[in-house]
Structure 1
């Protein structure tokens, strides 16, 4: 049984498919979107627990995807994983609600650890929300 669901969004197809395979081997259910539009349309179906999101993509860029995801699905924990980001991008991503901001290349164990931390935060937030709703 898989631990949780992650949606990986990156326009570098070979990179994102390889990454999703490596993550799947560690017990995480990984789906892939190759651009922002595809990612947003996939969210209309099944909402992941965690999203790995590149910043620089054709069409809808990563910051705009982050903005839309956090507005429509605030429970989704978003990890920015980019090779072209700046410190300013990192600050903006955190301001918009990103859980973490990582630079490529990243060690797979660090990424998986960050994803598990993000999932833990999502479940803790859900418990708090349920507690206050009662």
Structure 2
């Protein structure tokens, strides 16, 4: 699951992750990310294999989403994308159990590489039938 407030960067991230074989559900903010997680769990009974979220987002920050995920006991790998690179973000992310905190600006491919370290993608669908 991917949440990023910048639509252009979110599309680039989603495209890079899909190129690596990941199924990507996108959200424009933290509240939508939380709703997407709940819907996925209710609909499919699936816990996300990986969550990537911007730290600063409208509605609900990436740190707040991470706190919710950890509070319910999930150890899902979680990558935070930080714009400010503030020490407070890093210490809070570490306390909450973020897997990686990556500083922006960065390339979408860098995030995809971090994802590959954490979770092996499902075998890619044939390009003609790939769901996007």
Both proteins in one fold, TM over 0.5: yes
RMSD: 1.6
Structure 2: tracts of 5 or more residues without a match: 41-46, 121-132
* Residues 21-67 of structure 1: per-residue CA shift (max 9 Å, x gap): 12101211111111111100111122321111111111111211110
Kindly tell me: are residues 73 and 11 of structure 1, through their superposed partners in 2, closer, same or farther at Cα, counting changes over 3 Å? farther
Query: When the two structures are aligned, how many residues end up with a matched partner?
Result: 114
Tell me how far apart the structure 1 counterparts of residues 72 and 37 of structure 2 sit (CA, whole Å).
Answer: 10
User: Does residue 7 of structure 2 align to residue 13 of structure 1?
Assistant: yes
CA distance in 1, matches of 2:51, 2:103: 15
| Gap regions ≥5 residues in structure 1 | 1-6, 121-134
Higher relative CO (Cα under 8 Å, sequence separation at least 6) belongs to 2
Higher strand share: 1
- The structure with more helix, counted as a fraction of residues: 1
The alignment's TM-score, normalised by the length of structure 1, stands at 0.76
